[in-house]
Amino acid sequence: MEWHNVRKLAAFDLRMMLRHRESILWMFIMPVLFMVLIGKMSGSSGSGGEPHIGVIDEDKGVLAASFLARVDSLGYEIDYVDTDSTLAGYRRQLRIPAGFTEGALRGEKQEVEWYRKGEGSENGTLDKVRMQRALLLTLGDLVVVQAEGVIGEEGADDSIDSGGDAGQGDPDVSLGGGVKSSIVDSDSLLTAALLDVRNRPRQIRLDVSSAGPAPRIPDGFQQSVPGILVMFVLLVLLTTGGVFLVVEREEGLLRRLASAPVSRSEVLVSKLIARVTMGIVQVAFALVVGSVLRVDWGGRLPQILVLLAVYGTSMSSLSLLFGNLARTRGQVVGFGVLAANVFGALGGCWWPIEVVPETLQRVAWMLPTGWAMYGMHRLMNFGASWDGITLPLGLLAGFGLVCFLLARRTFRYQ
């Protein structure tokens, strides 16, 4: 096999496929639109950064600020908003009612309004538990401050002489840990006391260790970016890759190659390389888009690249086989679009395959998209490494080899 011929033929094929506007549209524009649309509809805006909470603080009191500080410490990004319409745009919404601080200091039960879109999901339950934790921590801080006599049971400052004049001097107040403060304003005193309690080392600590990789069913961009990537690689390779093989046959380009000093194997390998390269370009672009959307690749980028390279090679072989069997361009486009959508839906590209019934999960194991998405989820969300993708790599490689051997047998110049 003359690799010089292979390189020239592959470069020619690649230029022909990339020069058309339809290829650019379906390789670079439509995937991004689908990633963003499905990602926004199905979940959060990605797992790579701190989740945002829209907050309307109607109280603006000391305990409200302390509670929000606890929320912030749990890994949330707090966005303060002023209107209900702005708040409604957030997936996580928190409203602290007016009188929250005063009522709590009087010993009255207080409630905050918490709403999370998709509250019944696993992530929604986790958010709710974290909000409850922040409230309990705030209550605990207040109990400690009251127990140390910084404020009284009714919220009054026991250590400040309210009957004295401002010019008579301010009393020294001892906060926990020996911190001294000279503050007349009781709100400032309470703020300092709560901050002191919050910064103290905990007397009781709970050591928690992992019993194994925690399953994290993806949502938002964490699902849509790899899913749409897998589906559109298949779509473009089946349609664009298959159509150009039919076009070359219809226009007599393959007949000319038959009379040229180029072997049948060189022609097939060059066309395979051209389609694999086109898939690699798609993958590289999608990875950049995913990084912009703050997708967490799970620290397994090398494994992801290998998995997607094997998947792209396998789908390129399927593209050659499909182009050999198709008679017209319409057959290629129609079947290619249908196959990509059916394989994408059943293979877990549109939604996490973990949330569908067990019967459909078994169906996904019959499809190359299902193998690819299984590997992507294991790497990105379930903490797996090379051992977690051995099976999908083997299935994809075997499928690609069978398709290439069949493509070699069915290849024809006219």
Which pLDDT value is given to residue 169? 37
Q: Are strands 77-80 and 92-96 parallel, antiparallel or unpaired?
A: unpaired
Residue 209 in any domain: the answer is no
Which pLDDT value is given to residue 208? 67
Residues 22 and 155 in one domain: no
Which pLDDT value is given to residue 81? 93
Residues 28 and 74 in one domain: no
Which of 136, 167, 199 terminates a domain? The answer is 199
Residue 215 in any domain: the answer is no
Residues 143 and 276 in one domain: no
Structural domains counted in the chain: 2
Residue 316 in any domain: the answer is yes
Residues 25 and 149 in one domain: no
Secondary structure of the chain in HEC code, one letter for each residue = CCHHHHHHHHHHHHHHHHCCHHHHHHHHHHHHHHHHHHHHHHCCCCCCCCCEEEEEECCCCHHHHHHHHHHHHCCCEEEECCCHHHHCCCCEEEEECCCHHHHHHCCCCCCCEEEECCCCCHHHHHHHHHHHHHHHHHHHHHHHHHHCCCCCCCCCCCCCCCCCCHHHCCCCEEECCCEEECCCCHHHHHHHHHHHHHHCCCCCCCCCCCCCCCCCCCCCHHHHHHHHHHHHHHHHHHHHHHHHHHHHHHCCHHHHHHHCCCCHHHHHHHHHHHHHHHHHHHHHHHHHHHHHCCCCCCCCHHHHHHHHHHHHHHHHHHHHHHHHHCCCHHHHHHHHHHHHHHHHHHHCCCCCHHHCCHHHHHHHCCCHHHHHHHHHHHHHCCCCCHHHCHHHHHHHHHHHHHHHHHHHHHCCCC
218 φ/ψ sector (left φ>0, alpha ψ -120 to 50, else beta):
beta
pLDDT in tens, 183-242: 335 667 777 877 777 777 767 777 766 565 556 678 889 999 999 999 999 999 999 998
List the pLDDT tens digit at each of the 414 positions of the chain: 778 888 888 898 889 888 888 889 999 999 999 999 988 887 644 444 568 899 999 998 888 998 999 899 888 889 999 999 999 989 899 999 999 888 888 888 888 899 988 766 667 788 888 999 888 888 888 888 878 776 654 443 433 233 334 333 333 333 333 333 333 356 677 778 777 777 777 677 777 665 655 566 788 899 999 999 999 999 999 999 989 899 888 888 888 888 787 888 889 999 999 999 999 999 999 999 999 998 988 889 999 999 999 999 999 999 999 999 988 989 999 999 999 999 999 999 998 888 888 899 999 999 999 999 999 999 998 878 898 899 999 999 999 999 999 999 998 877
Residues 370 and 288 in one domain: yes
Residues 302 and 406 in one domain: yes
What's the CATH number where 164 sits?
3.40.1710
The parent domain of residue 184 ranges over 52-199
Which of 137, 165, 199 terminates a domain? The answer is 199
pLDDT in tens, 293-329: 989 888 899 999 999 999 999 999 999 999 999 889 8
Residues 306 and 362 in one domain: yes
